[in-house]
Amino acid sequence: MAGRTHLTLCLTPACAEDILGFIRHYDFEDEVTVVSNVPCHQDQPPSPAQAPAALDGEQLQDEHPHPLKTRPVWTRTSPHHHQTNRRLSSSHRQTGWMSAENRTVMHSFPFCKPGIPHKHPEGFWLHGKWHSLSCQVRQFSPQNVTECLTNHTVHVRGDSTCRQWVERLVKWKVVQRGAGNSLIGPYTATNHSRGIMVTFNFHTLPIQTGSWFPFRNLSESGISVEVRSMAGGPNVVLVLSLCAHFVAEPKHVYSSRMIEVKLAIQELHRKYPKTKVIVKTCNTRSHRSYRSVVQQSDWLAQQIDHEMRSILGDLNVAILDVWDMTVSQWYPHNIHPNQHVQDNELNILMSYICPEMLTNIEQ
Protein backbone atom coordinates (compact mmCIF):
# COMPACT_ATOMS: atom_id res chain seq x y z
CA MET A 1 0.00 0.00 0.00
CA ALA A 2 1.31 3.46 -0.87
CA GLY A 3 2.17 5.93 1.87
CA ARG A 4 -0.70 7.90 3.33
CA THR A 5 -1.39 11.58 2.95
CA HIS A 6 -3.06 12.92 6.08
CA LEU A 7 -5.87 15.43 5.63
CA THR A 8 -6.23 18.00 8.40
CA LEU A 9 -9.59 19.73 8.40
CA CYS A 10 -10.90 22.94 9.93
CA LEU A 11 -14.52 21.82 9.67
CA THR A 12 -17.34 20.35 11.69
CA PRO A 13 -17.25 16.58 12.29
CA ALA A 14 -20.27 16.16 10.01
CA CYS A 15 -18.41 17.88 7.17
CA ALA A 16 -15.40 15.63 7.79
CA GLU A 17 -17.70 12.68 7.12
CA ASP A 18 -18.69 14.24 3.79
CA ILE A 19 -15.02 14.62 2.87
CA LEU A 20 -14.52 10.95 3.70
CA GLY A 21 -17.31 10.20 1.27
CA PHE A 22 -15.41 12.02 -1.46
CA ILE A 23 -12.23 10.11 -0.62
CA ARG A 24 -14.02 6.74 -0.82
CA HIS A 25 -15.69 7.76 -4.09
CA TYR A 26 -12.44 8.29 -5.99
CA ASP A 27 -10.49 5.42 -4.39
CA PHE A 28 -8.12 7.46 -2.24
CA GLU A 29 -9.22 5.55 0.85
CA ASP A 30 -5.89 3.69 1.08
CA GLU A 31 -3.86 6.84 0.55
CA VAL A 32 -5.65 9.65 2.40
CA THR A 33 -6.63 9.71 6.05
CA VAL A 34 -8.63 12.36 7.88
CA VAL A 35 -6.36 13.18 10.81
CA SER A 36 -8.38 15.53 12.96
CA ASN A 37 -10.89 18.30 13.14
CA VAL A 38 -8.56 21.15 14.07
CA PRO A 39 -10.02 24.30 15.66
CA CYS A 40 -10.49 27.28 13.38
CA HIS A 41 -8.61 30.34 14.62
CA GLN A 42 -11.12 33.06 13.81
CA ASP A 43 -9.18 35.99 15.22
CA GLN A 44 -6.22 35.82 12.87
CA PRO A 45 -5.21 33.91 9.74
CA PRO A 46 -2.45 31.32 9.93
CA SER A 47 1.09 32.55 9.49
CA PRO A 48 3.01 31.48 6.37
CA ALA A 49 5.32 29.43 8.57
CA GLN A 50 2.36 27.35 9.78
CA ALA A 51 1.01 26.66 6.30
CA PRO A 52 2.16 23.75 4.12
CA ALA A 53 3.47 24.28 0.63
CA ALA A 54 1.21 23.64 -2.32
CA LEU A 55 1.27 20.15 -3.80
CA ASP A 56 4.68 19.37 -5.34
CA GLY A 57 5.73 22.96 -4.84
CA GLU A 58 2.96 24.40 -7.03
CA GLN A 59 1.62 27.79 -6.05
CA LEU A 60 -2.09 28.17 -5.45
CA GLN A 61 -3.53 30.50 -8.05
CA ASP A 62 -6.15 33.03 -6.99
CA GLU A 63 -7.30 36.40 -8.20
CA HIS A 64 -7.30 37.95 -4.73
CA PRO A 65 -4.56 37.44 -2.10
CA HIS A 66 -6.19 36.33 1.13
CA PRO A 67 -5.42 34.30 4.28
CA LEU A 68 -7.33 31.28 3.02
CA LYS A 69 -4.48 30.60 0.58
CA THR A 70 -2.36 29.33 3.45
CA ARG A 71 -5.05 27.23 5.07
CA PRO A 72 -3.56 23.89 6.30
CA VAL A 73 -5.39 21.40 4.10
CA TRP A 74 -2.81 18.76 3.13
CA THR A 75 -0.33 17.71 5.84
CA ARG A 76 2.29 15.19 4.70
CA THR A 77 3.42 12.68 7.28
CA SER A 78 4.91 9.79 5.29
CA PRO A 79 8.30 9.52 3.57
CA HIS A 80 6.47 7.70 0.75
CA HIS A 81 3.98 10.46 0.10
CA HIS A 82 5.42 11.49 -3.29
CA GLN A 83 3.60 8.79 -5.25
CA THR A 84 0.24 9.99 -3.90
CA ASN A 85 1.18 13.62 -4.43
CA ARG A 86 2.13 12.95 -8.06
CA ARG A 87 -1.31 11.47 -8.58
CA LEU A 88 -2.95 14.51 -7.01
CA SER A 89 -0.67 17.01 -8.75
CA SER A 90 -1.21 15.48 -12.17
CA SER A 91 -4.94 16.14 -11.94
CA HIS A 92 -4.22 19.52 -10.36
CA ARG A 93 -2.15 20.57 -13.39
CA GLN A 94 -4.66 19.26 -15.90
CA THR A 95 -7.88 20.71 -14.46
CA GLY A 96 -6.88 23.50 -12.10
CA TRP A 97 -7.38 22.70 -8.43
CA MET A 98 -10.05 20.03 -8.99
CA SER A 99 -9.18 16.46 -10.00
CA ALA A 100 -11.22 14.66 -12.66
CA GLU A 101 -12.60 12.31 -10.00
CA ASN A 102 -13.55 15.18 -7.71
CA ARG A 103 -15.14 17.00 -10.64
CA THR A 104 -17.32 13.92 -11.22
CA VAL A 105 -18.41 13.97 -7.58
CA MET A 106 -19.30 17.66 -7.73
CA HIS A 107 -21.33 17.10 -10.90
CA SER A 108 -23.35 14.45 -9.07
CA PHE A 109 -25.01 17.28 -7.10
CA PRO A 110 -28.16 18.83 -8.59
CA PHE A 111 -28.17 22.28 -10.13
CA CYS A 112 -28.96 25.04 -7.63
CA LYS A 113 -32.72 25.58 -7.66
CA PRO A 114 -35.68 25.90 -5.28
CA GLY A 115 -36.39 22.87 -3.14
CA ILE A 116 -32.76 21.85 -2.52
CA PRO A 117 -32.71 20.06 0.88
CA HIS A 118 -30.85 21.81 3.68
CA LYS A 119 -27.57 19.98 4.31
CA HIS A 120 -25.59 19.77 7.55
CA PRO A 121 -23.07 21.16 6.78
CA GLU A 122 -23.72 23.14 3.62
CA GLY A 123 -20.15 22.90 2.34
CA PHE A 124 -16.46 23.44 3.04
CA TRP A 125 -13.55 25.76 2.27
CA LEU A 126 -10.69 24.42 0.15
CA HIS A 127 -7.85 26.50 -1.31
CA GLY A 128 -9.76 29.69 -0.59
CA LYS A 129 -12.95 28.63 -2.35
CA TRP A 130 -16.27 27.55 -0.91
CA HIS A 131 -17.57 24.22 -2.17
CA SER A 132 -21.23 23.47 -1.67
CA LEU A 133 -22.44 20.03 -0.62
CA SER A 134 -26.03 20.91 -1.59
CA CYS A 135 -25.87 21.86 -5.25
CA GLN A 136 -23.42 22.65 -8.05
CA VAL A 137 -21.70 25.95 -7.22
CA ARG A 138 -18.95 27.19 -9.48
CA GLN A 139 -16.52 30.10 -9.51
CA PHE A 140 -17.79 33.09 -11.52
CA SER A 141 -15.36 35.69 -12.82
CA PRO A 142 -16.65 39.25 -13.39
CA GLN A 143 -16.95 38.36 -17.08
CA ASN A 144 -19.01 35.27 -16.20
CA VAL A 145 -21.24 37.39 -13.95
CA THR A 146 -21.81 39.88 -16.77
CA GLU A 147 -22.73 37.06 -19.13
CA CYS A 148 -25.05 35.54 -16.53
CA LEU A 149 -26.92 38.78 -15.86
CA THR A 150 -27.24 39.86 -19.50
CA ASN A 151 -30.88 40.78 -20.25
CA HIS A 152 -31.80 40.24 -16.57
CA THR A 153 -33.42 42.46 -13.98
CA VAL A 154 -32.40 41.75 -10.39
CA HIS A 155 -34.33 43.35 -7.53
CA VAL A 156 -32.34 43.24 -4.28
CA ARG A 157 -34.36 44.01 -1.14
CA GLY A 158 -33.28 43.78 2.46
CA ASP A 159 -30.28 44.75 4.56
CA SER A 160 -26.68 45.76 4.01
CA THR A 161 -25.43 42.17 3.70
CA CYS A 162 -27.13 41.89 0.30
CA ARG A 163 -26.37 45.52 -0.58
CA GLN A 164 -22.71 44.45 -0.48
CA TRP A 165 -23.41 42.13 -3.41
CA VAL A 166 -24.65 45.05 -5.48
CA GLU A 167 -21.58 47.04 -4.47
CA ARG A 168 -19.34 44.20 -5.65
CA LEU A 169 -21.13 44.17 -9.02
CA VAL A 170 -20.48 47.90 -9.30
CA LYS A 171 -16.82 47.46 -8.35
CA TRP A 172 -16.42 44.72 -10.97
CA LYS A 173 -17.96 47.12 -13.54
CA VAL A 174 -20.75 44.68 -14.26
CA VAL A 175 -23.15 47.59 -13.69
CA GLN A 176 -22.86 51.32 -13.02
CA ARG A 177 -24.73 52.74 -10.05
CA GLY A 178 -27.16 55.58 -10.62
CA ALA A 179 -28.49 58.32 -8.35
CA GLY A 180 -29.91 57.53 -4.92
CA ASN A 181 -28.83 57.00 -1.32
CA SER A 182 -25.88 54.61 -1.50
CA LEU A 183 -26.64 53.09 1.92
CA ILE A 184 -30.40 52.62 2.03
CA GLY A 185 -31.53 53.24 -1.55
CA PRO A 186 -33.59 53.19 -3.51
CA TYR A 187 -31.18 53.23 -6.42
CA THR A 188 -30.69 51.46 -9.73
CA ALA A 189 -27.46 50.14 -11.23
CA THR A 190 -27.46 49.43 -14.95
CA ASN A 191 -25.45 48.14 -17.88
CA HIS A 192 -27.36 49.36 -20.91
CA SER A 193 -25.17 47.61 -23.47
CA ARG A 194 -25.90 44.21 -21.87
CA GLY A 195 -29.48 44.89 -20.81
CA ILE A 196 -28.72 44.51 -17.08
CA MET A 197 -30.66 46.33 -14.36
CA VAL A 198 -30.04 45.82 -10.63
CA THR A 199 -32.15 47.71 -8.08
CA PHE A 200 -31.63 47.99 -4.32
CA ASN A 201 -33.83 49.20 -1.50
CA PHE A 202 -33.41 48.74 2.23
CA HIS A 203 -36.22 47.10 4.16
CA THR A 204 -38.27 49.20 6.56
CA LEU A 205 -38.38 48.92 10.34
CA PRO A 206 -36.85 47.45 12.40
CA ILE A 207 -33.55 49.19 11.71
CA GLN A 208 -30.72 48.60 14.19
CA THR A 209 -28.37 51.53 13.60
CA GLY A 210 -26.53 54.23 15.48
CA SER A 211 -27.29 56.89 12.90
CA TRP A 212 -30.42 58.73 11.84
CA PHE A 213 -32.70 56.90 9.47
CA PRO A 214 -35.30 58.69 7.34
CA PHE A 215 -38.87 57.53 7.97
CA ARG A 216 -40.31 57.47 4.49
CA ASN A 217 -43.94 56.48 4.02
CA LEU A 218 -43.64 53.12 5.77
CA SER A 219 -47.12 51.96 4.81
CA GLU A 220 -46.25 52.11 1.10
CA SER A 221 -42.57 51.20 0.92
CA GLY A 222 -42.48 47.83 2.68
CA ILE A 223 -40.99 44.86 0.87
CA SER A 224 -44.28 42.96 0.73
CA VAL A 225 -45.98 45.94 -0.95
CA GLU A 226 -43.11 46.27 -3.44
CA VAL A 227 -43.19 42.57 -4.31
CA ARG A 228 -46.94 42.65 -4.93
CA SER A 229 -46.58 45.51 -7.40
CA MET A 230 -43.46 44.10 -9.07
CA ALA A 231 -43.40 42.96 -12.70
CA GLY A 232 -41.83 39.52 -12.91
CA GLY A 233 -40.91 37.08 -15.63
CA PRO A 234 -38.31 34.47 -16.61
CA ASN A 235 -35.52 37.09 -16.69
CA VAL A 236 -36.48 38.73 -13.39
CA VAL A 237 -34.81 37.76 -10.10
CA LEU A 238 -35.91 38.87 -6.63
CA VAL A 239 -33.25 38.61 -3.91
CA LEU A 240 -34.32 39.05 -0.28
CA SER A 241 -32.22 39.37 2.88
CA LEU A 242 -34.25 39.86 6.06
CA CYS A 243 -32.25 38.89 9.10
CA ALA A 244 -29.62 41.12 10.71
CA HIS A 245 -31.95 43.87 11.93
CA PHE A 246 -34.61 41.45 13.15
CA VAL A 247 -32.38 39.48 15.52
CA ALA A 248 -32.87 41.89 18.44
CA GLU A 249 -36.66 41.92 18.01
CA PRO A 250 -39.19 39.47 19.47
CA LYS A 251 -39.61 36.43 17.27
CA HIS A 252 -43.25 37.22 16.46
CA VAL A 253 -42.15 40.49 14.80
CA TYR A 254 -40.07 38.54 12.32
CA SER A 255 -42.72 35.86 11.85
CA SER A 256 -45.45 38.35 11.03
CA ARG A 257 -43.19 40.16 8.55
CA MET A 258 -42.20 36.92 6.81
CA ILE A 259 -45.83 35.81 6.54
CA GLU A 260 -46.55 39.10 4.75
CA VAL A 261 -43.58 38.47 2.45
CA LYS A 262 -44.77 34.89 1.80
CA LEU A 263 -48.21 36.10 0.72
CA ALA A 264 -46.58 38.70 -1.55
CA ILE A 265 -44.33 36.06 -3.16
CA GLN A 266 -47.32 33.79 -3.74
CA GLU A 267 -49.15 36.65 -5.46
CA LEU A 268 -46.06 37.44 -7.58
CA HIS A 269 -45.80 33.79 -8.66
CA ARG A 270 -49.49 33.63 -9.54
CA LYS A 271 -48.96 36.48 -11.99
CA TYR A 272 -45.40 35.61 -13.07
CA PRO A 273 -44.72 31.94 -12.22
CA LYS A 274 -41.23 31.90 -13.77
CA THR A 275 -39.85 34.70 -11.58
CA LYS A 276 -36.86 33.50 -9.55
CA VAL A 277 -36.99 34.32 -5.84
CA ILE A 278 -33.84 33.80 -3.75
CA VAL A 279 -33.75 34.36 0.01
CA LYS A 280 -30.42 34.77 1.81
CA THR A 281 -29.97 33.37 5.31
CA CYS A 282 -28.26 35.11 8.22
CA ASN A 283 -24.49 35.18 8.55
CA THR A 284 -22.33 35.40 11.66
CA ARG A 285 -21.34 38.72 13.20
CA SER A 286 -18.79 40.10 15.68
CA HIS A 287 -19.80 40.31 19.33
CA ARG A 288 -17.73 43.09 20.84
CA SER A 289 -20.34 44.68 23.07
CA TYR A 290 -22.85 43.60 25.68
CA ARG A 291 -25.68 44.53 23.33
CA SER A 292 -24.38 42.40 20.47
CA VAL A 293 -23.81 39.40 22.75
CA VAL A 294 -27.20 39.56 24.45
CA GLN A 295 -29.51 41.00 21.79
CA GLN A 296 -27.82 39.99 18.53
CA SER A 297 -26.16 36.67 19.27
CA ASP A 298 -25.53 34.04 16.61
CA TRP A 299 -27.90 31.72 18.48
CA LEU A 300 -30.72 34.23 18.01
CA ALA A 301 -29.78 34.63 14.35
CA GLN A 302 -30.10 30.88 13.86
CA GLN A 303 -33.60 30.97 15.35
CA ILE A 304 -34.45 33.57 12.71
CA ASP A 305 -33.11 31.23 10.02
CA HIS A 306 -35.20 28.32 11.31
CA GLU A 307 -38.31 30.49 11.34
CA MET A 308 -37.65 31.69 7.80
CA ARG A 309 -37.30 28.11 6.54
CA SER A 310 -40.49 27.02 8.28
CA ILE A 311 -42.50 29.89 6.73
CA LEU A 312 -41.04 29.95 3.21
CA GLY A 313 -40.03 26.30 2.88
CA ASP A 314 -43.12 25.24 0.92
CA LEU A 315 -42.79 28.00 -1.69
CA ASN A 316 -41.00 27.91 -5.03
CA VAL A 317 -38.16 29.84 -3.40
CA ALA A 318 -34.42 29.17 -3.31
CA ILE A 319 -32.79 29.58 0.10
CA LEU A 320 -29.20 30.76 -0.28
CA ASP A 321 -27.47 29.48 2.84
CA VAL A 322 -24.32 31.34 3.91
CA TRP A 323 -24.32 30.37 7.59
CA ASP A 324 -21.80 27.53 7.45
CA MET A 325 -19.64 29.55 5.06
CA THR A 326 -19.27 32.38 7.57
CA VAL A 327 -19.02 30.11 10.60
CA SER A 328 -15.95 28.35 9.14
CA GLN A 329 -14.21 31.32 7.51
CA TRP A 330 -10.67 32.31 8.49
CA TYR A 331 -11.56 35.98 8.70
CA PRO A 332 -12.83 37.60 11.90
CA HIS A 333 -16.58 37.37 12.22
CA ASN A 334 -18.34 40.49 11.01
CA ILE A 335 -21.90 41.28 10.01
CA HIS A 336 -20.30 42.50 6.77
CA PRO A 337 -18.00 39.61 5.83
CA ASN A 338 -14.65 40.05 4.14
CA GLN A 339 -14.99 40.78 0.42
CA HIS A 340 -13.46 37.40 -0.42
CA VAL A 341 -16.32 35.72 1.45
CA GLN A 342 -18.77 38.00 -0.36
CA ASP A 343 -17.35 36.86 -3.70
CA ASN A 344 -17.98 33.24 -2.74
CA GLU A 345 -21.52 34.16 -1.71
CA LEU A 346 -21.97 35.70 -5.15
CA ASN A 347 -20.80 32.43 -6.71
CA ILE A 348 -23.77 30.73 -5.06
CA LEU A 349 -26.15 33.49 -6.14
CA MET A 350 -25.00 33.26 -9.76
CA SER A 351 -25.26 29.46 -9.65
CA TYR A 352 -28.93 29.87 -8.75
CA ILE A 353 -29.56 32.53 -11.41
CA CYS A 354 -27.66 30.83 -14.24
CA PRO A 355 -27.31 27.08 -13.55
CA GLU A 356 -27.12 26.44 -17.29
CA MET A 357 -23.75 28.25 -17.44
CA LEU A 358 -21.98 25.87 -15.06
CA THR A 359 -20.81 23.42 -17.69
CA ASN A 360 -19.12 26.23 -19.62
CA ILE A 361 -17.13 27.70 -16.72
CA GLU A 362 -13.63 26.37 -16.06
CA GLN A 363 -13.05 25.48 -12.40
d(CA 95, CA 166): 31
222 lies in a domain? Answer: yes
How does pLDDT run across 54-63, given as a tens digit for each residue? Answer: 333 333 333 4
**Total domain count, the chain:** 1
High-pLDDT (> 90) share of the chain, %: 38
Tell me, yes or no, whether 25 lies in a domain: no
Cα gap 276→346, rounded to integer Å: 16
Comparing 56 with 253, the larger pLDDT belongs to 253
Residue 228 has pLDDT above 80, yes or no: yes
With respect to residue 87, please indicate whether it lies within any of the assigned structural domains.
Answer: no
Phi, psi of 271 (to 5 degrees): -85, -40
Residue 31 lies in a domain: no
pLDDT band with cut points at 50, 70 and 90 for residue 113: very high
Does residue 91 belong to any structural domain of this protein? no
Q: For the segment 290-337, what is each residue's pLDDT rounded down to a tens digit?
A: 667 777 788 888 888 899 999 998 999 999 999 999 998 888 888 888
Q: Let me know: does 34 contact 64? Beta carbons within 8 Å.
A: no
**CATH number, domain at 285?**
3.40.50.1110
Domain range for 214 is: 114-358
With respect to residue 312, please indicate whether it lies within any of the assigned structural domains. yes
* pLDDT tens track for 69-101: 333 333 323 333 333 333 333 333 333 444 554
Those residues with Cβ within 8 angstroms of residue 255's Cβ, 6 or more apart along the chain or in another chain: 307, 311
**352 φ, ψ (degrees, to nearest 5):** -75, -40
Instruction: Flag whether 331 is in a domain.
Output: yes
Phi-psi sector, 151: left (phi>0), alpha (psi -120 to 50), beta: left
Any domain includes 77: no
